Chains A and B, each alone.
Chain A
Amino acid sequence: MAPAKVTNGQNPLRDPSDRRLPKIAGPSGLVIFGVTGDLAQKKLLPAVYDLANRGLLPPAFGLTGFARRDWQDQDFRKIAHDAIEKHSRTPFDEGVWEQLSKGFRFVSGEFSDDSAFERLAQTVQRLDDERGTGGNHAFYLSVPPGQFPLVLEQLAKVGLSTPAADTWRRVVVEKPFGHDLTSARELNDVVEEVFPPESVFRIDHYLGKETVQNLLALRFANQMFEPIWNANYVDHVQITMAEDIGIGSRAGYYDGIGAARDVIQNHLLQLLALTAMEEPVSFEADELRAEKEKVLSAVTIPRDIGRHTARGQYEAGWQGGEEVVGYLQEQGMSAGSITETYAAIRLDVDTRRWAGVPFYLRAGKRLGRRVTEIAIVFKRAPHLPFDLNETQELGQNAIVIRVQPDEGVTIRFGSKVPGTAMEVRDVTMDFGYGHAFTESSPEAYERLILDMLLGDPPLFPRQREVELSWQILDPIIDHWTKHGKPEPYRPGTWGPPSADAMLARDGRTWRRP
């Protein structure tokens, strides 16, 4: 009997029908720049630990932190330990931590310091020797985009960006991918000068969320939704991303950026693309992106931008029993800033499927409550065999996909009110993700870091998508800069009156999420 063949990509122990076997990343190292930052402490390090705790990281895994602090490896381990214990999703296990943290290293230095990057190169080399990370390394740039060129140039200079045969080097960048089309292209040129396009992983953590992936399952794995998912039945779509907090200490980042650039350009337009796109021929990365790009390229902006968009800025006031400062009084804010903290825009998708169906996108801070949702609002039934007063309380049917929190799907439809009279009123039918499946689904960052280490790209947007999004948003932001300023709104409400007026012009109202 000849033993089973083993080649690169043919592993006799991996049977496609064996769905118990976890996908474990191969030997690899992760280098995090800006490891002392909030994102690294609250999300990245805990996600790495959670992956290890779920047995999804290889024994040969190394993590190198790079930051300005004057730390030794032990200091870094201590800080990482505390951050993980506080923020990890899965229970903290000393045994797992002990094995994982043996692969933790720290390199102290400035991004401009050549010798620090030489030390980094040596550290990475030593991880290959001591831990067996096999020359595979990913570089996570958790730093402001302004510093990308410097970091990338340094990586190239010490040869860290060039993989040897049979190994890989990848780079991970976070939003914002530029602040307009030109800067997005410039940023991309800088990155792609050092790393080839297939080695660049852009993280939009929304795409790693279970609910967003469930949107694809809901649409394309079911028979009952797709037939009505078009202009024949849909009246309009509302995509909302609301936060109840202000900008806090992020004035330096937020001022001059605003709600549209901060979340509409990436998260909301991605949600729009997934909601509106045609069925991809498969779920391969290229096919999925092709459909998203097609629909983004079909998006048109209103001819009269002033009438079909709205923006606002939160004032000081009492919100839910707490006194909060207004945007202009936030610490470090430039006086008279006209940055919007609330943005609402109408977009149309010029395809046969969506002709005449507006997509309303809104995002803001200090709104009523924290919620992200996609609401598909249907047309009224063409004929109602009831009296007008019998259907007084009947609204439009709707399917609402709650992305966060309380992930799930709500369907809203009319039902007879018990009693002798024929009276129809709206009721809801609710599917809660947390009721029907896991109590805690993996964090988006767990999924994305694992996919990146595995080299599995479907959930990462490509440069073309980024550019298309800016093409949509640039004229709107341009119009806003030239005309007027954001309208103030009370904290804890659903935005400025102009947002309501904008929908009223189309004969519609915003949903109260």
Chain B
Amino acid sequence: MIISLENTTSSAIGAKLVELREEGGAVALGRVLTLVIVATGDSVEAAVAAANDASREHPCRVIVVDPGDDGDSAGLDAEIRVGGDAGASDVVLLRPLGDARHTVDTLVVPLLLPDAPIVVWWPHDPPENMSADPLGAMAQRRISDVGTCDTPIEELAGLADTYAPGDTDLSWARTTLWRGLAAASLDEPPFEPVRSVRVLGSQDRPSTHLFAAWLASSLKAPVTIEHDPGATAITGLDLERRTSSISMRRPEGSAVVTVTQAGRPDQQIAMAKRPIADCLMEDLRRLDPDEVYARTLVKGLPKVAAE
């Protein structure tokens, strides 16, 4: 069900949500968090779709803030979606116009679920300093996605400069499967230190840099990134050890990783690129500060050399 409200206020929207709950049993009581999405234009629907998918694991109230253009008359338009149009969440779209755009935090406050944690997600351009942003300052978790920015690598460096506990970037979730595979490969004998590391992949993807930075800060070994022309993600990893080096490859477009290690048969495992909803779901799983991300971003990134 979709309900449009024009020229309204946040408290009127809140009252409408309570009314809907009493009428139709569209209950927000079991919701575990409020997810605030800051997006504009076309990106709104894609972000809401991802949030709806993620809400199947983390039932949440989704509040989308979509600031209108400058020239519009001042006020607030809104849309409420519940039931089949909202996955396991209820979605409130807020379109502040004119001067109402300047105090977005007061738009959101009346609609937050009591006591539940707040997560703010900027699917496109994050503010320069997320934790200083009025919305970001309210949140336990601030999620950016610099992979979608025009200059992702510079933005990534910016995230490191302004890092505050509770920040994460979806590029980090994009490395998780690779990280799991790399970690598992060192669980097996022979137990040898890794002397140097090479990460293959797109030089322009933040996930390639974060993966390399994580390896550098954990293994305390030199790590280089080798640009793989045409790649849109991480495409390989070489761990150089004294007797038994390990090499993993997932060519661009393939969903299969081949693991090569001396003295063992080649192994293959399915590992597709993750859809955005999967990454978001992972990020919502824990809402405390991600210390490993912090270490990787702040300490690991400067250690990585590009070839």
Residue ranges of A at the interface with B (Cβ–Cβ < 8 Å):
1-8, 10-15, 17-22, 24, 26-27, 52, 55, 58-60, 93, 95-96, 98-100, 102, 129-132, 134, 166, 431-432, 435-439
Contacts and interface: CB of A to CB of B under 8 A. Distances in A.
Given A4-B220, A55-B180, A435 B30 contact: yes
A8 B189 contact: yes
Nearest to B272: A95
Contacts of A59: 257, 259, 267-269
A18 B183 CA distance: 11
Q: How would you classify the secondary structure of chain B's contact residues: helix, strand, loop or mixed? A: loop
B220 A13 contact: no
Contact of B292 (A15, A60, A129): A15
A13 B32 contact: no
Interface in B184-231: 184, 186-189, 191-195, 215, 218-221
Interface residues of B, number: 51
Q: How would you classify the secondary structure of chain A's contact residues: helix, strand, loop or mixed? A: loop
Contacts, number: 128
Contacts of A12: 186, 218-220
Contact of B218 (A4, A24, A437): A4
B265 interface: yes
A459 B220 CA distance: 37
Nearest first, the 9 closest Cβ-Cβ pairs linking A and B are: A435-B30, A59-B267, A59-B269, A13-B183, A3-B193, A96-B270, A18-B292, A24-B184, A439-B56
Contact of A11 (B32, B56, B187, B221): B187
Interface stretch (B94-102, B143-151, B171-179): B171-179
Contacts of A431: 30
B142 to A, nearest CB: 17
A2 B195 CA distance: 9
Contacts of B109: none
Contact of A4 (B58, B219, B286, B290): B219
A13 B182 contact: yes
Contacts of A17: 291-292
Given A4-B193, A4-B221, A6-B186, 17 more contacts: A8-B189, A12-B218, A13-B179, A13-B218, A14-B183, A21-B180, A21-B183, A24-B183, A24-B184, A59-B269, A95-B256, A131-B265, A435-B27, A435-B59, A436-B30, A436-B32, A439-B88
Nearest to A56: B180
B32 A437 contact: yes
A478 B181 CA distance: 54
Nearest to A94: B270
6 contacts: A3-B221, A8-B189, A10-B191, A52-B270, A55-B177, A439-B56
B292 A27 contact: no
Contacts of A93: 270, 272
Contacts of B18: none
Contact of A13 (B29, B58, B219, B285): B219
